[in-house]
Amino acid sequence: MSLDQATVARIAQLARIRVAPEDRPKMAKELQTILDWVEQLKELDTSKVEPMTSTVEVVMPQRADEVTDGGYPNKILANATDPVRVSSTEELGGFFTVPKVVE
C-alpha cells in the first residue's frame, strides 16, 4: 500500500497535527517506511513465543482479595463534615450518607 498526499493529510487531520503541504511527500515516505517495517514484523512466526511483560521473569506479589473496613470505622466516620448526615454504626452498619448527585 502506497501512501499518497491525500492520505497523509487525512492522517494528520485525525491526529490533530498540522502538516504543511510541502512536507507531505516527506511525511508519506516516512510513514511508508514505518508501515513496511510493520509488514516485516508480521512475517515473523511468534507462535512459540510466550507473551511477556518484562525481560526478566518476575512473579508479582499478591495479597488476598478481601473487603475490610480498615479496622477503625469510628475514625473514618469522624471525618464526615456534616455530622447530621452520619448514620449510626448500629443503624446502617457504619456508613455515612451523601447527597444525591445524579438525577
Q: Where are the domains of the chain?
A: 5-42
pLDDT tens per residue across span 40-71: 999 999 899 888 888 888 888 888 888 876 77
Residues in the chain: 103
Mean pLDDT of the chain: 81
SS3 33: helix
Q: Check residue 37 and give its pLDDT.
A: 94
Helix (H) or strand (E) holding 86: none
Dist. CA 26–CA 32, nearest whole Å: 10
Strand partners, 86: 96
23-27, 40-44, 72-76: which has the minimum mean pLDDT?
72-76
Pick 2 or 25 by higher pLDDT. Answer: 25
CATH of segment(s) 5-42: 1.10.20
Q: Check residue 19 and give its pLDDT.
A: 92
Average pLDDT over residues 71-98: 62
Dist. CA 71–CA 10, nearest whole Å: 57
Q: Check residue 22 and give its pLDDT.
A: 94
